[in-house]
Amino acid sequence: MPSPQPSSDPFEIPRPAQVPAIELIGVRKVFRRRERAHGRFSPRRRVAALDGVSFRVERGETVAVLGQNGSGKSTLVRVLSTLLLPDGGTARVFGHDVLTQPAVVRRLVNRVSVEASFFKKMSAAENLSYAARFHGLTSGRTRAGIPEILERVGFPADRRSEPMENLSRGMQQKVALARALLTAPVLLLLDEPTTGLDPRSKREVQAFVKEMRAMHDATILLCTHDLDEAEALADRIGVLDRGRLLVLGTVDELNRRYGAQTLEVAFFAATGREFGEETDPDDDREVFA
């Protein structure tokens, strides 16, 4: 494994090669929520969004987590980005515990989620600019860097100063990718980055993720419910179902394990359910996407 860090840098965050990029040991996250159908005074129900999830992702790997709506993918991403505190277990990013060293973890991680989250009246350039500042980048570095990175993700130069609300979903998602890349995360968390995109934007975003993979030292965790996307982009694929990681391996390993010819069949064998069947009856896609 190449050492991407100039070893002369005395301040670097230690990320020894033998330490996995992601290490989860029995991570649990339980939410208490009211059932909508039963009105506002109904008793709260406990939902185990993550139910003892353990796995490792090596540095430089791209791992896809496949799961239906409500299987716990976003919860997993939020735990790794220090936005949700796990109720039990341990989660580490390059050896740094998300609970006890969140500040270090935040410097290593960035994320693209299903909804492009931006100040809608502000332009792409403005949104990227302030976000870069939050990661310690001066305007001297972003002045040239932002146009460059927007160009790399295929964002048209003449629309940089247009309010984000005028841009298509696909275009916004490219800006979201640019925002994540701008901070050069060593762990990139992609949470359904292509869900809801038109086929062309979807292909473009996927092509870009592929290019990212080729980059030195970038580790990618891709959460998706798109089987083809997982197969096309990931080295290994895990199946998450109702908060439990049922299996994690290469496509071949998965197929062999379940005696399946295709990933779809393997998924069915692992979860006991047809792909595309809803597991989460709650009408909360918008809220918890």
Please give the residue ranges that form the binding site for Mg ion (CB under 5 A).
73-74
When CB distances are held under 5 to 8 angstroms depending on the partner's kind, the choice from other proteins, ligand ADP, Mg ion, none that residue 122 binds is: other proteins
Residue 208's nearest CA partner among 160, 259, 172, 154 is: 154
Judged by CB under 8 A, does residue 91 bind other proteins? no
Judged by CB under 8 A, does residue 31 bind other proteins? yes
Judged by CB under 8 A, does residue 69 bind other proteins? no
Cβ of residue 206: shortest distance to other proteins, in angstroms?
15
When CB distances are held under 5 to 8 angstroms depending on the partner's kind, the choice from other proteins, Mg ion, ligand ADP, none that residue 282 binds is: ligand ADP
Identify residue 10 by its one-letter amino acid code.
Answer: P
| Contacts (Cβ under 8 Å, ≥6 apart) of 277 | 68
> 76 with 115: CB under 8 angstroms?
no
**Alpha helix ranges (H) inside 70-138:** 73-80, 102-108, 124-134
Tokens (6 digits) for 276? 């595309």
Q: How far apart are CA 113 and CA 27, in angstroms?
A: 21
Tokens (6 digits) for 97? 């515990």
Judged by CB under 8 A, does residue 111 bind other proteins? yes
Region near other proteins per CB under 8 A, out of 54-62, 112-120, 224-232, 241-249: 112-120
Q: Under the rule (CB under 6 A), what is the footprint of ligand ADP? A: 31, 33, 47, 49, 67, 69-75, 280, 282, 284, 288
Region near other proteins per CB under 8 A, out of 2-10, 221-229, 231-239, 263-271: 2-10
Cβ of residue 155: shortest distance to ligand ADP, in angstroms?
26
**CB crowding 50-83: b at 16 or more within 10 Å, else e:** bbebebebbbbbbbbbbbbbbbbbbbbbbbbbbe
When CB distances are held under 5 to 8 angstroms depending on the partner's kind, the choice from other proteins, ligand ADP, Mg ion, none that residue 35 binds is: none
Judged by CB under 8 A, does residue 173 bind other proteins? no
Angle subtended at Cα 46 by Cα 224 and Cα 75, rounded to the nearest 5 degrees: 25
Residue of the chain from 62, 69, 71, 142 that contacts other proteins (CB under 8 A): 142
Chain mean position to CA 55: 15
Judged by CB under 8 A, does residue 285 bind other proteins? no
Nearer Cβ to Mg ion, position 31 or 258?
31
> 189 with 112: CB under 8 angstroms?
yes
DSSP notation for 182-220: HT--SEEEEESTTTT--HHHHHHHHHHHHHHHHSTT-EE
Q: How far apart are CA 73 and CA 71, in angstroms?
A: 6
Residue of the chain from 52, 54, 58, 126 that contacts other proteins (CB under 8 A): 126
Residue of the chain from 39, 41, 46, 103 that contacts other proteins (CB under 8 A): 103
Nearer Cβ to other proteins, position 130 or 262?
130
Binding site for other proteins (CB under 8 A): 4-6, 9, 11-13, 31-32, 75, 78, 81-85, 87, 103, 106-111, 113, 115, 117-122, 126, 129-138, 141-142, 145-146, 148-149, 152, 163, 179, 181-186, 211-212, 214-218, 286-288
